[in-house]
Every structure is written in C-alpha cells, then in structure tokens.
Amino acid sequence: DAGVTQSPTHLIKTRGQQVTLRCSPISGHKSVSWYQQVLGQGPQFIFQYYEKEERGRGNFPDRFSARQFPNYSSELNVNALLLGDSALYLCASSSNWGTEAFFGQGTRLTVV
C-alpha cells in the first residue's frame, strides 16, 4: 500500500507569489493534518481536517488556507509568500480521530 504522498517534493517561489501543496493520505485514512517545520525546529501545527471539515487551526495568518476533498486528499495554499514561509511542509494522515499519524516525505518550499 502506498504511504502518505506529497507533491511537489521541492519548490522555489518568489516573494508575493502563491503556492499550492498537495497531500494524498493512506487509503482509508479520513484525517489529514498539515505541519510547518522551519530548519532546526520541531514541526508546528497548521491545520487539521477530518471527514472533509476543518477541525483545527494553528497560529498561522490567514494567508494560509487548506481544504480536504471527497477522496480525503488535501491541499494547503499559501498566498503572498514571505521569506519566512521557507520551510518543510509535512502532511500526516490517520485512519480516524486520535489514531496514529503517518507522515509524508514533505514538501520543501524555498521563498526567494
């Protein structure tokens, strides 16, 4: 079975641009969460979706948005990119509420 897949793996964007990151959860998993990991730090929670509804949002500005589709895949959108948005963006899926999380390889975003 395929694990959590994220695309693209690497991305370079210019300040002010918009970016969309994609995540496909493990088949049958209904929950998807997004995390931002700045170099040298632990990941920080951005969003959680369960059964296509937003169930939690971290302390991130409104430039960050996300959604979950009927097939449980998810997109993370970031508008008006800043240099400080450069980070590894991780997606995690779990089969149900509160169950073990499985992570994708991440998307490394560089804003120049």
Partner 1 sequence: KNEVEQSPQNLTAQEGEFITINCSYSVGISALHWLQQHPGGGIVSLFMLSSGKKKHGRLIATINIQEKHSSLHITASHPRDSAVYICAVLTSGSRLTFGEGTQLTVNP
Residues that bind partner 1 (CB under 8 A): 31, 33, 35, 37, 41-45, 48, 50, 55-56, 58, 88, 90, 92, 94, 97-98, 100-106, 108
First-residue to last-residue Cα distance in the chain: 37
CB of 52 to partner 1, least distance (A): 15
Residue 15 vs 55, nearer CB to partner 1: 55
**Amino acid in the structure at residue 29:** H
Residue 14 vs 59, nearer CB to partner 1: 59
- 26-39 residues labelled b (16+ CB within 10 A) or e (exposed): beebbbbbbbbeee
The whole-angstrom separation of Cα 20 and Cα 7 is: 9
CB of 83 to partner 1, least distance (A): 19
Residue 24 vs 48, nearer CB to partner 1: 48
> Is residue 53 helix, strand or coil?
strand
Residue 4 vs 80, nearer CB to partner 1: 4
